[in-house]
Structures are given as structure tokens and as C-alpha cells.
Amino acid sequence: MNEELCDSVSSPAPDTALQLTRSSSIGDYEESSGIDGGEEEERMINLSDLNPYILCSICKGYFIDATTITECLHTFCKSCIVRHFYYTNRCPKCNIVVHQTQPLYNIRLDRQLQDIVYKLVENLEEEEKKKMCDFYRQRGLEVPKPATPQPICTGRGRSRKLLGPVFRIPPELDVSLLLEFMGAAEGTGSFKPLEKKFVRVSGDATIGHVEKFLRRKMELNTACQVDIICGDHLLEHYQTLREILAALGDSAIQDGLLVLHFGLVLSQLSLL
Ligand SMILES: [Zn+2]
Ligand SMILES: [Zn+2]
């Protein structure tokens, strides 16, 4: 936790007063939360004073499954930050590049911070647990067991108990694609926008595979042909991504991503 968290979070939380001892040091992640008091001098503080440290700047609610970016130590709800990384590889707060291609590599569940939030905010833990159980029960699924935290050292030299990586990406998916849509020619019909333009694939995949992927995601009709280009090269179906990378080198790469542009044109067959 750090001072940068103080910026621009709104405070929808109730202004509940609670007691913390002067030694309690949420900002420094010391072992004793101090909430139990003991001999030390006590003072009252408002829960709202702590909001900058326990509210997610994405959803403006209290952290749920607090998840911290290891590169800048900014924290968000797990679901909020995972969704954010669908669209960008940068931190929502400080805008640093979290990871060139796979920002999910560099986030960790932050059990210690989540424990603090649950201690500070009455009933939040119970409500969340209940919501989670209901979610799984309604779907007839087994409720997953919580994981055990392991200490890791952060870049700032402090040891914090963070869980292991939230996601692991299979090593065979070694190429990260950025698929940029250029537009559609007249007569190619309706299509859905491509929701997720960052894709992790094997270098053995061909342009044919990429086209299939685009056809499925955008629900393209048969009259529609997908032209895929890299730089100013029109790519052929049989070319693998590895070959394209080898042939075009750095000129094809931007921020660690292989950038492919694609456009929709009328199929040659449909013109016959
Ligand atoms: Zn959130
Ligand atoms: Zn950040």
C-alpha cells in the first residue's frame, strides 16, 4: 500500500468510526494490525479516512479479492483488473506497462490487504462468501477452496504475503498478437466488433487459423473475405506466425506484440 493510492477515489462507504491503535500501521503492512488494541494509546478514526487505501479505483467499491500489480503495487479487485487487462496492458492508476504482452503475469492476490479490508468493513466478508457460495450452488458446482498465501519480495524491498500468479499461460502459446481492424468494404454484410484484440497463440498457427478465429468471433458471412496484412505485406493462408516474425523481424513488432491489420472485402468467389 502506498501514498499514490490517495488520489481520486470517491467515498461511497459509510462514515463508520472505529478504533485503531497508533501503532497500527496499515500502510506498512506490519504483522500486528493493532485493531485488538492492547496497552497502547487508542484513537478514533473514521472508516472513510481509510477509504483511499481500501477502495478499488475501478469499481469504487471495497476491494474484493484484492489483487496487486507487482510492478507498481497498485491494488484493485481481481475481477476489475482482469477485465481491465482485456483491453490494455497498462496500470489503470499510474499507466505503467505492467507486462509487454501478458499483464496477468504480473498481478498477485493480496491476501493480507484483503484481510485488512474484511476486518475494517463490517459484514463484507460474510456477504461476499455468501454471494460466492450462491453463485456456485445455483450452477450446481463445487465451491472452490481458498488458496494459501506465500510470502514474496516486492521491488520495494518489503516482504508481503501475496499469493502466486493469478494465471499461468502455457509456454507453447509463445506469440502475442494485436489484431487491428481496418474496416469493411461495402457489401460484406453485418459483423460483430472484435471484442478482444490481444490474443496469445502458438507460433505454429497460420494466417488461416487467424482468419478462422476472426470469422468465428466476428460472425462473418461467406461472402466476406478477410485480408490480413503485416506492415505492407499481404499475408498468405499457409504462412505461420513464426515465419512471419522471422521474415519481417522487428518491423512487425510493437510493444512485444506481432501487429496484424485486417480488413473485410468481398470474396472473389462471390463476384464470379
Ligand atoms: Zn473493483
Ligand atoms: Zn500502477
Q: What is the pLDDT of residues 166-180, one digit of tens each?
A: 666 667 778 888 899
DSSP letter string over 152-178?
A: EE-TTS-EEEE-SBS----TT--EEEE
Overall domain count for the chain: 2
The ligand minimizing its distance to the Cα of 62 is: 1
Residue 143: its pLDDT value, please?
Answer: 79
Whether 25 has a pLDDT exceeding 50, the answer reads: no
The ligand minimizing its distance to the Cα of 61 is: 1
**Is residue 22 very low, low, confident or very high in pLDDT (cuts 50, 70, 90)?**
very low
CATH of residue 214: 3.10.20.90
Residue 262: its pLDDT value, please?
Answer: 93
Return the exposure string of 162-195: e unless at least 16 CB atoms fall within 10 Å of the residue's CB, then b. bbeebeeeeeeebbbbbbeeeebeeebeebeeee
Cβ(258)–Cβ(241) under 8 Å?
A: yes
Residue 162: its pLDDT value, please?
Answer: 59
Q: 154 and 113 in one domain? A: yes
Per-residue pLDDT of 184-234, as tens digits, reads: 888 888 899 888 888 888 889 999 999 999 999 999 988 889 999 998 889
d(CA 242, ligand 1 centre) in Å = 38
- For residue 244, being part of any structural domain is answered with yes
Angle, helices 207-218/241-248, rounded to nearest 10 degrees: 120
d(CA 164, ligand 2 centre) in Å = 19
The ligand minimizing its distance to the Cα of 74 is: 2
C-alpha cell, 233? 505485406
Per-residue pLDDT of 246-257, as tens digits, reads: 888 888 888 778
Alpha carbon distance 196, 239 (integer Å): 23
Residue 163: its pLDDT value, please?
Answer: 58
The ligand minimizing its distance to the Cα of 59 is: 1
Please state which of the ranges 1-5, 66-70, 166-170 shows the lowest mean pLDDT.
1-5
- For residue 211, being part of any structural domain is answered with yes
The ligand minimizing its distance to the Cα of 60 is: 1
Q: What is the mean pLDDT of residues 88-116?
A: 90
Mean pLDDT (the chain) is 79
The ligand minimizing its distance to the Cα of 71 is: 2
Residue 161 β-bridge partners: 151
Q: 15 and 148 in one domain? A: yes
Q: Which residues neighbour ligand 2 (ion) by CB within 5 Å?
A: 72, 74, 91, 93-94
Q: 184 and 150 in one domain? A: no
d(CA 257, ligand 2 centre) in Å = 21
CATH of residue 55: 3.30.40.10
Residue 261 has φ and ψ, to the nearest 5°, of -100, 145
**Is residue 20 very low, low, confident or very high in pLDDT (cuts 50, 70, 90)?**
very low
Q: 221 and 100 in one domain? A: no
Which of 129, 162, 195 marks a domain boundary? 162
Q: 229 and 150 in one domain? A: no
SS3 88: coil
C-alpha cell, 261? 491489420
Q: Percentage of the chain with pLDDT > 70?
A: 74
Q: Which domain holds residue 260?
A: 175-271
**Is residue 160 very low, low, confident or very high in pLDDT (cuts 50, 70, 90)?**
low
Closest Cα partner for 262 from 238, 230, 216, 240?
230
Residue 205: its pLDDT value, please?
Answer: 92
